[in-house]
A and B are shown apart, each in its own frame.
Chain A
């Protein structure tokens, strides 16, 4: 079953509760699944899984006479989350468009942009068995095993970038006539310019530089937007699913490559997953994607990655201070700002 519900324009927005109540979500979830499956569905083993900073993730078992027991995942966009207000569409487009492609994704079960069923934007997908590696730590996994995974990780990225976005629902993400990659930069600039955020002169100046000097992409592709170690599920030496498509957009493929190679996501190593040299990553990616990597564009997107990281930290500060989202991890993220801004300034010098 797959049900992407859309609200007609003349139906008023539902009144949303201010916070996400697990009990209310569970009750509404049972009603929603019963309705779309046409079979009374009970929810078992329901619990929050998320240690993420944005969408709230629940794991549960949907039990019905018609379909038996199904292990599913529910993701809910909270009203005061990091990137609120949320749209479910990028993730829905990703899971729909990439099903059966060379990019493994969980199968989409149902979604609602306007959250009529649960009160917030949400989607439900199949549970995928496996583990999510931590990007922050130098893990004790066997280096050969990590090399295998890192190579798959690069090959899957190449597969994603080979897809013609015009033939998928992603095409509708293109807004107006502005270049998609410039649009993405402008979006973060607007986020940083919100009056409640602390003003950082180097981010203001650097954001203008990025927008003015954004290179022409070799081709415009689907960009995952948060493609990194930690955003996939690994099972028996294979990457079983790529996760977290909330920042997906159209743009320059260098963006994903630069983001994936940030030392922050590779236990502070310059090597991907701590094992794959940068030159090896680029070589593998070029051969698998057929896209020539430009040193200049990569340097630009390495600077942009730090700019984006700074903007995300500021979203966290805002969520904590203004939207009163009581997650102390968000408050602590603000302490990373001085080091990120300094690194951004150096990266910009290298890219100029």
Chain B
């Protein structure tokens, strides 16, 4: 989903105000929409992304860094951060997300290194093993995100179809 929770809520409110309200002549429907907008404004002030999946991703990244560090011992490689990266008292979703994004950049540097000519020249088999490990781990990280992704509604979204079935929560 969209990276910024607040921006996403703003976009939903704008879509309702700009496209739904002007096209509804039914007072009850308009009442529902304005109530939804009010509720969304409340969410914007009080809510944020769930921290759980982000924490799980950061922990998985840390496990991967530790494994790469063990395997790549003695070879020159991109910097691996000191672990654990998560302070025990960190609960702010935005801060955890920033940590996850930083971890992704570092994993990317390691993956580019492991699949590059220098690492292959130093130890081809080891480099290949590290590359495979990193790819598997990054895919596992994506699985965590998939678990929080709702079922696709592409057909209804693209075509605006009325009878495409209700969105499930």
Interface residues of A (CB under 8 A from B): 51, 134, 136-137, 198-202, 204-205, 208-209, 317, 320-321, 326-329, 331-332, 334-339, 341-342, 345
Contacts and interface: CB of A to CB of B under 8 A. Distances in A.
Contact of A134 (B2, B107, B159): B159
Given A51-B159, A326-B18, A345-B135, A205 B108 contact: yes
Interface residues of B, number: 37
Given A334-B3, A339-B142, 10 more contacts: A51-B160, A134-B158, A136-B155, A136-B159, A205-B112, A328-B12, A331-B8, A337-B145, A342-B143, A345-B139
B157 to A, nearest CB: 5
The 10 closest A-B pairs by CB, nearest first: A201-B108, A136-B155, A338-B145, A338-B142, A326-B14, A328-B15, A205-B111, A331-B2, A204-B108, A201-B107
Nearest to A197: B3
B146 interface: yes
B112 A208 contact: yes
Majority secondary structure, A binding face: helix
A320 B112 contact: no
Contacts of B8: 331
B142 A209 contact: no
B146 to A, nearest CB: 5
A320 B3 CA distance: 10
SS class, residues of chain B in contact with chain A: helix
B105 A317 contact: no
B3 A342 contact: no
B2 A320 contact: yes
Given A329-B157, A342-B142, A201 B111 contact: yes
B1 interface: yes
Q: Which of B2, B105, B134, B153 has the most CB atoms of chain A within a 10 A radius of its CB?
A: B2
Nearest to B105: A199
Contacts of A326: 11, 14-15, 18
B5 to A, nearest CB: 11
A134 B112 contact: no
B101 interface: yes
29 contacts: A51-B160, A136-B158, A198-B3, A198-B101, A198-B104, A199-B101, A199-B105, A200-B104, A200-B108, A201-B104, A201-B111, A205-B108, A317-B2, A320-B7, A321-B2, A321-B7, A326-B11, A329-B158, A334-B2, A335-B1, A335-B150, A336-B154, A338-B142, A338-B143, A339-B146, A339-B149, A342-B142, A345-B135, A345-B139
